[in-house]
Structure formats: C-alpha cells, structure tokens
Structure 1
Amino acid sequence: MAERVALALQGEILEGRFPPGARLGEVALAERFDVSRGPVRTALNQLAETGIVTIVPNSGARVRELGREDARALYEVRAALEAEAARLAAGRADAGAGDMLDKLLGQHADEVSAHPQGAYLQGPGDRDFHMVIARMGGNPIILRYLTRELYPQLSLLRVKHRNVTGRGQAALTEHRRIAEAIACGDAEVAGLLMRRHIRASWEALEAQLGAVTKETPA
C-alpha cells in the first residue's frame, strides 16, 4: 500500500498538481487513498529519500522547494554520473547501437522542429535519450542513483521553472555528437561530450533563473 501511495504521489508532484512548498497532510492523504496513516507516512519517507519531499519534525511533509544552489549541486552530480554512463555505454555499444540512437534522435528532431523555442521534452523510459544512455552503460549503481534520486529531483526543478525556454536545436545537436561517439566506441570522447552537454544545459538554466529572479517582485 505504501508503494502504491508513493508512486501515485510522485506522479502528481512531478506533474505539478502539488506545487513546491505544498503541504502533504497525512490525514487527508490517508482518507483520499483509503488507507491508514502508516502507509502514508512510509510513502512520504520514501519520497523524502528521493529528494522531492521534505519532512520537518513537528511540521509535517511538504513538496521540496529547490533553490539555485540545490539546482547547481544536482547538475554537478548529473555531469559526473552521466559522463561516466556515456563512457561505459561507448565501451559496451554493439553494432546496432548507432541505428537505435539515430532513430530515437530522429523522433526528437521532429518534435524539436515543431516547437523550436520550447523545451526539449522527451518521453519517459526508452524515449529519454539520457535514460537510454544510462541503461546502455550497464552500471546498476549509476542507473539507480539517476533514476531513483537525480531524475525525480530534476523533474521537480522543471515543474518549478516550466516556463524557462528550452535549448532545442542546440541540445539535439549535442545529443547527436554524443550518440556518434558512443556508436564509434570512443569512450573518452563520449564522456567528455556528455559532460560538456550537461554543463551547457546548466549554464542555460542558470542564466534564465537569474532573469526570472530579477523579474520577480520582492
């Protein structure tokens, strides 16, 4: 029951139904999911472990609010883990890796062309370039950290800043270069390009976060 509640709440939080800072009352949630408070408390603790919920003693649980320094730390860890995942993926790439990645990025290209000024949105699982690379890397510890902690927090960050303009074509070009290095089995180049890609994503987000902050009245 706790797992069911946790999955449902995580989905709603990352869809923006519960905005950052929103209170997650145990009693209301228990009534809503028709369970006792025990499974709800366990579910909230699980979400706190992923980094998308904050539990304050004597105050309760709230959706986590990610500030600029939180975002910076997330991107620093992301750069390290995903660069290593790309390096490992290149070392494990088989003959069909290039075609598979090219097909995926072809689908992304159509979507980016349809919304050139929007965010580079990717579907879940096998539709997400970064998730595909992480799985190709074959390191279960890296994959666990990315999927269970880092990616949910990044999704929460996007919920807070859903109006930030995406990099679109630039990010797609960077993805293609990473894919080419992986398909060629060039591990060092794949890792370097992935690290540069994550850094460029952070720099673009940081610049726009600064602009949003200046526009927000005190």
Structure 2
Amino acid sequence: MQKSSLAPISRQSLVETIVNRLETAMMDGSLAPGEKLSEMALARTLGVSRGPLREAIRQLEGRKLIERIPNVGARVAAFSREALYELLIIREALEGIACRIAAKEMTDEDLARLEELLLADGCKEGVRKGTDYFLGSNDRDIHSHIVRCCRNERLVAMLCDDLYDLLRVYRGKISAISGRATAAYEEHAKIVDALKARDPDSAEAAMREHIRNSRRHAMDHFDTKLAPLAPSGRKADAQ
C-alpha cells in the first residue's frame, strides 16, 4: 500500500469537504434559501463534529452564502424578489460588457477551453433531458471563464467574487425550472459562436439576451420555486 494513502485527513480537508457538501445542498435545494441552520442537526446528518462544521459555516458566511439574523441565527442566504431582480439587471449589464471585451481579448487557448466547457455541459444528463443545468465550480463555469478572459480586474472582482457564489446558487435553481436548462444551453452555444467569431456586438447581445431570459424565467416562477423560507420554515410572502 502506498504511504500517501495512509496520510491522516487534515482538519482543513474535512472543512473543505463540509463546505462542498453544504454548497451542493444549496444548489440542489436540500437547503432552501432562508432555511435556518441547526448545527446539531447538520453535524448529525453529515457525521462530523461541530468544530469543523462551525468553521465551514464561517467560510460560507464570508462568501455570503450563509447569513446570521438577530434572534434567528444562521440561515441560508436569500434574496427577495426585488433584490434578485436588481442583481440580475446589474449582472446583465456587467456580463454584457465583459463578453464584449472578451471577444477581443480571448486567445486561441481561451476559446479552446470555452468550447471544452460547453461540450462538457452538453454531456450532462440534466442538460440533455432539459431538467437542470447545475453549474460547476468557478473554473468549470462558462460565465466565469468568459469574465476572466476579459482581463479587466475590476469586472472580474465584481462578477467572480462579490456576486458569483450566491448568484450561482440561484442560477442553478433557475435552470431547474421546467424547460430552462435546454434553452440556457442553446443560448450559451450562441454566445460561444459569437466569441469564436470575435464579434463584440454579437457577443454582448447574446450574453444580454441570455441573462434577460434567465431573469424573466426567475421572475415568472419566483413565488413557487425561488422565494425564501420565512423563519417558520414556510415560504415567505412575496415582497
């Protein structure tokens, strides 16, 4: 047996595993927006002690995926209808600009990587069946790749750091609404074609159209699919 296989599991590795599990649960709906988190219940469910669980929760707080509410405690972060609408308006404008710049800045290697990501997404069962389009980590996400390829540090910081994590959860949930996964993939393909053609106008237009369609879908289904839970555990009233 190789010596490396006997290496002890570090606390940091355990914390990272818990972070990944909690983030996945937020993506697939096991933990709903606004849901209160019980450390005792989560520790029991995950089979871990509360020490590394608390550290994982602190990390997710830092990424704005978990928030602490006075007299309530820690809960999964959530947007109201108005907040989600406003953020998607901002995202449309900023990602449209990033896509325009990327059309001129992307190298052949960048474009090859973009095609790889699109192909990998097309092989996902949820995309093929049109049931969901759950997103990979930052380095496996088409949107993140395009933004980073615009090579504008301020745009990258705003879209890949400040907004990325929480919006990624909502993007995954939006894609799981009936019919959206297939349409989103086709829109991604249109964006990729425009970038390969190095056409800034078409690239920006395709990205803006894609995010507008996602926003429209989110608003149409917010109350039934995306509304946060109230502290009681029931869906909060639409704002």
Fold agreement, TM-score > 0.5: yes
Amino acid at match of 1:139: N
Match for residue 85 of structure 2? 72
**8 A Cα contact 2:135 2:141, kept in partner:** yes
Structure 1 gaps of 5+ residues are none
Q: How many residue pairs align between the two structures?
A: 211
For residues 44-83 of structure 1, the C-alpha deviation after alignment (integer angstroms, 9 at most, x for no partner) is 4x64454323333454332223232222122112112211
Instruction: Give the aligned partner of residue 122 of structure 1.
Output: 135
Match of 1:199 in 2: 212
For 1:112 and 1:82, the matched residues in 2 are separated by 27
Q: Name the counterpart of 1:12.
A: 22
Q: Supply the RMSD in Å over aligned alpha carbons.
A: 3.8
TM-score by length of 1: 0.73
Paired residue for 1:182? 195
Conserved 8 A contact 1:6-1:47:
no
CA-to-aligned-CA distance 1:86-127 (integer Å, 9 cap, x gap): 112112122344433333322222326863321223322332
Structure 2's unaligned 5+ residue stretches are: 1-10, 227-234
What is the distance in 1 between the residues matched to 2:123 and 2:172? 24
1:168 and 2:181 matched: yes
Structure 2 CA distance, aligned partners of 1:114 and 1:188? 27
Structure 1 pair 158–15 and aligned structure 2 pair: CA distance change class (3 A) = farther
Aligned to 1:83: 96
Judge conservation of contact 2:127–2:182 (CA < 8 Å) in 1.
no
Which secondary structure state, in structure 2, belongs to the residue aligned with residue 62 of structure 1? strand
Q: How many angstroms apart in 1 are the aligned matches of 2:19 and 2:49?
A: 11
- Cα distance, 1:11–1:166 mapped onto 2, change above 3 Å: farther
Q: Does the 8 Å contact 1:98/1:180 carry over to 2?
A: no
- 2:162 is aligned with what amino acid? E
Change (3 A) 1:69 1:7: farther
Deviation at 1:29, TM superposition (A): 9.2
By how many angstroms is 1:129 displaced? 0.9
Instruction: Report if the CA contact (8 A) 1:102-1:179 is conserved.
Output: yes
Measured after TM superposition, the shift of residue 133 of structure 1 is 0.6
2:42 paired with 1:32: no
AA aligned opposite 1:184: A
> Match for residue 137 of structure 1?
150
Corresponding residue of 1:63? 76
Rounded Cα–Cα distance in structure 2 between residues aligned with 1:79 and 1:114: 22
Q: Partners in 1 of 2:92 and 2:83 — Cα distance? A: 14
Q: What TM-score do you get using the length of structure 2 for normalisation? A: 0.68
User: Alignment partner for residue 52 of structure 1, among 45, 48, 65?
Assistant: 65
Within the alignment, does 1:105 sit opposite 2:118 as a pair? yes
Structure 1 runs of 4+ off > 4 angstroms? 4-11, 24-31, 40-43, 46-49, 158-163, 210-213
